[in-house]
Amino acid sequence: MARRLATPADPAFVFDLDGTLLDSVYQHVTAWQRAFAEVGVDLAVWRIHRRIGMSGGLLAQRVIKEAGAELSQAQLDKAEELHGRYYFEGLDWVQPLPGARALLLALSEAGVPWVIASSGKADEAEAHIEKLDLPRTPPYVCSADVDNAKPNPEMFLAAAEKIDASVLDCIAVGDAVWDMLAARRARMLGVGLVCGGYSAGELQQAHAFRVYLDPADLHASLDEIGVML
């Protein structure tokens, strides 16, 4: 039988976590700032902000290079470790973004499959998922599950596989340019949310199919992307 013309035919969602479901981006930014300062590199903070959503290792390499500094692998590892420590110290300040929980529950109730794909480490992903206060732990993939973090599409592809969804049915929701680029490379529709601090224009330039404010706004607009609850 030929594929049905409606696309997505059986929609499924792949959600980024930081800045998309959890209001954690600015905590990450300041944790990185302190971590880099401690290994001797003072960085303009906006450069860190614009790299959030990449894996920690990739982010560290890129911002250090942009700053014209050089760090040994041991110093990079140290910065990553310190970032994790400072980030967890401020974890109490991290809350779900408006409408995140309601959106996920509504999708589940309607039988629309969804999965979480986070560039973070496993302990961080688990701590964040806990904050969403869901009835059961949802399927998720994190940095440990793939060799290459976003903007490589591996993570989104692994997430689709986890819920046995076709990439053509997947809508990847994220707040970062790196999410949108990974979605396009994975041949998924990318939907951008500005609640992580990127602007709508930046997300559109990175091929966002549509851009919304936050999970609540996406929830109210699902029909625009072909999902009827």
**Residues making contact with a copy of itself (CB under 8 A):** 23, 25-27, 29-30, 33-34, 37, 42, 44-46, 49, 93, 95, 97-98, 194-199, 201-202, 205, 214
For residue 172, the cross-strand partners are 14, 190
Sequence-separated (6 or more) residues with CB below 8 Å from residue 1: none
Tokens of 36: 């880099």
Tokens of 33: 């700032």
| Min CB(28)–a copy of itself separation in Å | 11
| Min CB(2)–a copy of itself separation in Å | 41
Spatial separation of the C-alpha atoms in residues 66 and 92, rounded to whole Å: 31
| Min CB(199)–a copy of itself separation in Å | 4
What are the distances in angstroms from CA 140 to CA 60, 204, 229? 24, 26, 22
| Min CB(66)–a copy of itself separation in Å | 10
Spatial separation of the C-alpha atoms in residues 51 and 38, rounded to whole Å: 19
| Min CB(150)–a copy of itself separation in Å | 19
Spatial separation of the C-alpha atoms in residues 203 and 193, rounded to whole Å: 8
Sequence-separated (6 or more) residues with CB below 8 Å from residue 40: 75
